[in-house]
Amino acid sequence: MINTIVLSEGTKNLLEGLQWAFFAYFLCINAVYLVLNFISMAGILRYTREHIAKFRIRNFASYQPPVTLLVPAYNEEKTIVSTVNSLLRLGYPEFEILIVNDGSTDDTLKVVTEAFGLSEFPEAYRDRLKTQPVKRIYASQAFPRVRLLDKVNGGKADALNAGINAARYPLFCVTDADCILQPDSLSRVVQPFLEDARTIASGGVIRVVNGCKVRNGMLADVELSNRPLPLMQTVEYLRAFLFGRLGWSPMNALLIISGAFGMFHKERVIAAGGYRKKLVGEDMEMVVRMHDQMRKERRPYRITFVPDPICWTEVPEDLRTLYNQRARWQQGLAESLFGNWRLMFRRKGGIVGWVAYPFMMLFECIGPIIEILGYASVVVLWLAGLLSVQAFFVFLFAAIGLGMLLSLNAMVLEELSFHLYPRPGQQVKLFFAAILENLGYRQMVSMFRVFGLFRWLGSLWRTRSTWGHMRRHARWQDSSASTDDNKSISQGISP
């Protein structure tokens, strides 16, 4: 028999009051997510009508501006060649691939130079944004689109700033060294810049590549991972991108563009001072700061989101790597929000300052602490014999039931729009993952995010950020692929 906890009357009243406050919190956050879900559904239907036809991309090809693809790399020898191969196959009229080797300690530099025939090239380098010294610049005769900067290690933000300095074109697109792009990815993400001259940044959907097959930089087979953690993250990514970010975009209130795939106007980023080096969430911080700067200058602008599944990335397959990633993301979120707090409730701050920013602060930044305290209070009240059956089921509905509903809604949106997982077996796996994700995985990630907030508090006394190392397995790469096939795409023309 379990002994109940004896509590004073005041403590009981406090816990019961807090419990109803937690109920209200869970109901409120999920209600907002449901509203974003409806906005996203309307947005996807409108987007598929206006953009999904391939003839639009072909007709706009001659108007598409040249783009620099920035690939910051630190110890990415396992995946960098596949990533560059996928970039070379992009069906885009004019672009360059600029790899920034940020002092890698493995064979990243050797692997890239050998795979693409890179040799040192005496090119002028303009130091518009201050960075760690650039040691060498490489170019290739066989692959004229590919260049490489070899520099002293300074962190991802420093590597991006060096790439911006060397970029030849007015738009730059950031992608990670473990990402695979589809042939039309660049054409999709540049579309907002063609449709609205006010656009200064755009981002796209990130999908999980674990379980898929990639051959010579091309996605050969879309499949779900058989491992539980990547499968849970597949559902999580669907929910975060298909209605989380897509819901904020029509209101010009998008505060996050993934560092794995985002397009930016180069001069606007330079005017904002480039990426800040002391942060781990440099990608989100840049977007929040651009909102803040444009609002301060009272200049019309747009920061948009493209819902196409256009970038595939590897996600953690073990708990330690997942913990480090999520704690780092939460640290970056806190840095971005608290570092640009003047945007909140700014006069003429619009929806981004009066709705999106407070929502992110309360529910995404501080939210994990509230969630964990909510679960803990339920346990304490149950042990004290003060938790009624009605209150227990209300909590289950608010904290877990609505979460399952949102995950299932994300699956429905994916099925109605892009239909990347059409086989019945895939849909069954996603269904069970959407249910099970809310029964342990989500609570575990919330705890990881709480630790991330403590990391952020500790980082206030540090002066320099480092790369977030993620253990990569690269099981999705087809080992039978040969770099000899690159000869057919040496000019960067999609086959």
pLDDT at 448: 95
412-463 pLDDT per residue, tens: 878 777 778 888 888 889 899 989 898 889 999 999 999 999 999 887 776 5
pLDDT band at 277 (very low <50, low <70, confident <90, very high): confident
Residue 96 corresponds to which tokens in the numbers above?
Answer: 């360059």
211-220 pLDDT per residue, tens: 888 877 677 8
- State the pTM of this model: 0.85
pLDDT band at 487 (very low <50, low <70, confident <90, very high): very low
352 vs 183, residue with greater confidence: 352
45-97 pLDDT per residue, tens: 777 776 655 545 555 667 889 999 999 999 888 888 888 988 998 889 899 99
Average pLDDT, whole number, for the chain? 84
pLDDT at 475: 57
pLDDT at 472: 59
395-409 pLDDT per residue, tens: 778 778 888 888 888
pLDDT at 493 over 80: no
pLDDT at 218: 74
pLDDT at 490: 45
Domain ranges of the chain: 1-65+170-463
Average pLDDT on 312-326 reads 91
